[in-house]
Structure 1
Amino acid sequence: MKIRVGYDISYDCAQPVPMIVMLNIHYSRAADVIKPDHMRTDPYVPLRFYRDSFGNWCTRLVAPPGRIRLTTDEIVHDSGLPEPAFPFAIQHPIEDLPNDALLFLLGSRYCETDRLSPAAWSMFGHVEGWARVQAICDFVHQHVSFGYHHARPNRTAWETFNERVGVCRDFAHLALTLCRCTNIPARYCTGYLGDIGVPADPNQMDFSGWFEVYLDNQWHVFDARHNARRIGRILIAYGRDAADVAISNTFGPNRLAGFRVWTDQVTSDGSTDAVPSTETIYASSNGDRWELIQDTVNSRAFVRHKANESSGGHETDVSIDDFMRRNGSGPEHAALRHLISTRASAG
């Protein structure tokens, strides 16, 4: 199976803003990458790359004042099979664990093992190994209600346990903390997870959060949010918790101006349920921007005007027919008419 993945993320910056972003597919899946996941920036800025202490690929850049757009669009090979289950996988005694797994037994920023340890042993002390982890996932899946309106960037595992609401990262934080409390190494993961083999989620796609545990001499994927073995999960990064794998760390005033993520199975004819493509065709000196949006799935194309911040930053979509009927004389009209006349095939 081939899977198309990518993102289109924009920031508005009031001044030059240094950034560290973590958006490349994890090196453990490098052999599966068919079309490389090279990040593109608009406007162009120099990029520097390094691996963090967990081996995750990180990119350094300095965003200029104004809007910067980060994008990639790539193809990844996948087995197309659900993630394997190993119900007889054993739990190791602490003294037999490898050195690099020990870190993932400890508490961390969002995972308070000291607070949750009594509850963990009370609820899950009677089982071990794979059965223990599955029992933890079953509990978290039923105990916590999912909803994007529940999202809060500083919610911890202890707070999720008590508030009983959250998003995928909160499910993962609570489940992996309960695993650590019962002496199973567990690490937080983030990456792509589309609706392959399951009913489509009506919500806008986002990066997903799950966790891995160390059992029987290897790491295994678990997902307390969905509580199912899924198809097409693609790892970007792992760490102690979400603080280690933030998709971006910014060091200056900025505003998230746009965010899209896609994960689509490529069909036998090479097509996907692709997200609309966006091309900037004119940007004025005052910060206004005009884009051509081409939605191949719905066979339509239209013009999007993004007003500058001082004008409210609103967006207005106009059909190509309506735009062409206008008699504007500004440079944006000339640029748009030229591009539309040569590239757009739907109105």
Structure 2
Amino acid sequence: MLIRFGYDITITCPQPTPLVCLLNSHADRAGDIRAVEQVVTQPSVPNSSYTDLFGNICRRFVAPAGDFSIWGDGTIEDSGLHDPVFADAQEIAVADLPSECLVFLMGSRYCETDRLSQIAWDLFGNMAPGWGRVQAICDFANKRIKFGYMDARSTRTAYEAYEEQIGVCRDYAHLAITLLRCMNIPARYVNGYLGDIGVPILDPQDFSAWIEVYIGGRWMTFDPRNNIPRIGRIVVARGRDAADVPLINSFGPHELKQFRVWTYDVTGLPLPLPPISH
């Protein structure tokens, strides 16, 4: 299966403003790219890229004063399979975890393990360890939070999502991640593309948040917001929580003027031509 993905974002800055953007597909999918991601800005400005501590591709710009647009587009090959389910996968004891997993057991900006630890153990402490307990935590987050775009708040933490019982995909992810870490199960935040392949079209196209859990000796995908296996995820960035993977990190004020995302199946269609202009 071929999936075309991309974005068209316009911000307005009152003055020249440095930006760091995490918008490229993750480097671990580089071998699946079939039409190289094109990145075009209007006006055209120099840019450079680097890889951060979590392996994410970060692109640097200095946006001029006024409107500044970033447009990206690419095509990737995907298996077309649903997220895998390994119901017999077992949790790994903390003493046996790879060292690089340990950071994903600890509290972070939006994931207050100290505030949710007792709640987690009260809810899930008597459950058998393994895939079933991870799924039960995702089920709980899915039912605890009522989804609504109008309820988005960039500062909402996992504990606040638990208390308020409202939010968007990042809040489902933060709550599930925190409860998992409280149970000594490594969990990390994922930002990326998730289209409506194989499901009814329910929401406007947007970047999505889900989680990866270290279980059975590998990182596995779970999605507390949608809570069913899906087709065609394209990872952009991974981190401890949303603070590590902002789409746009601006070092100065800016206003979002336009935001459009696309991701859809183009199997059997010609690959897109490189853009001539934005």
Q: Does 1:66 align with 2:69?
A: no
Q: CA deviation at 1:37?
A: 1.4
**What's the counterpart of residue 179 of structure 1?**
180
> Does the CA-based 8 Å contact 2:139-2:227 persist in structure 1?
yes
- Unaligned runs of at least 5 residues, structure 1: 281-347
Q: Does 1:190 align with 2:191?
A: yes
**What's the counterpart of residue 89 of structure 1?**
89
Identity of aligned residues (%): 53
- Unaligned runs of at least 5 residues, structure 2: none
Alpha-carbon distance change, 73 to 164 in structure 1, aligned in 2, over 3 angstroms: same
**What's the counterpart of residue 251 of structure 1?**
251
Structure whose alpha-carbon radius of gyration is higher: 1
> Does the CA-based 8 Å contact 2:75-2:271 persist in structure 1?
no
> Does the CA-based 8 Å contact 2:13-2:63 persist in structure 1?
yes
**What's the counterpart of residue 147 of structure 1?**
148
Q: CA deviation at 1:267?
A: 3.8
**What's the counterpart of residue 121 of structure 2?**
121
**What's the counterpart of residue 133 of structure 1?**
134
**What's the counterpart of residue 75 of structure 1?**
75
**C-alpha distance in 2, partners of 1:131/1:87?**
7
Alpha-carbon distance change, 34 to 6 in structure 1, aligned in 2, over 3 angstroms: same
Q: CA deviation at 1:271?
A: 8.7
For the residue of structure 2 that corresponds to 1:37, the secondary structure is strand
TM-score in terms of structure 1 length: 0.77
The number of residue pairs the alignment matches comes to 275
> Does the CA-based 8 Å contact 2:105-2:186 persist in structure 1?
yes
**C-alpha distance in 2, partners of 1:166/1:110?**
13
**C-alpha distance in 1, partners of 2:33/2:234?**
10
Q: CA deviation at 1:204?
A: 2.2
Q: CA deviation at 1:38?
A: 3.0
Q: Does 1:168 align with 2:174?
A: no
For the residue of structure 2 that corresponds to 1:205, the secondary structure is coil
Alpha-carbon distance change, 19 to 118 in structure 1, aligned in 2, over 3 angstroms: same
Amino acid at match of 1:250: S
> Does the CA-based 8 Å contact 2:213-2:222 persist in structure 1?
yes
Q: Could you list the structure 1 runs, at least 4 aligned residues long, displaced by more than 3 angstroms after superposition.
A: 269-272
Q: Does 1:107 align with 2:107?
A: yes
* Root-mean-square deviation (Å): 1.6
**C-alpha distance in 2, partners of 1:119/1:148?**
27
Alpha-carbon distance change, 26 to 269 in structure 1, aligned in 2, over 3 angstroms: closer
Q: CA deviation at 1:39?
A: 1.5
Structure number with greater CO (CA < 8 Å, separation at least 6) is 2
**What's the counterpart of residue 208 of structure 1?**
208
**What's the counterpart of residue 226 of structure 1?**
226
For the residue of structure 2 that corresponds to 1:133, the secondary structure is helix
**C-alpha distance in 2, partners of 1:186/1:5?**
26
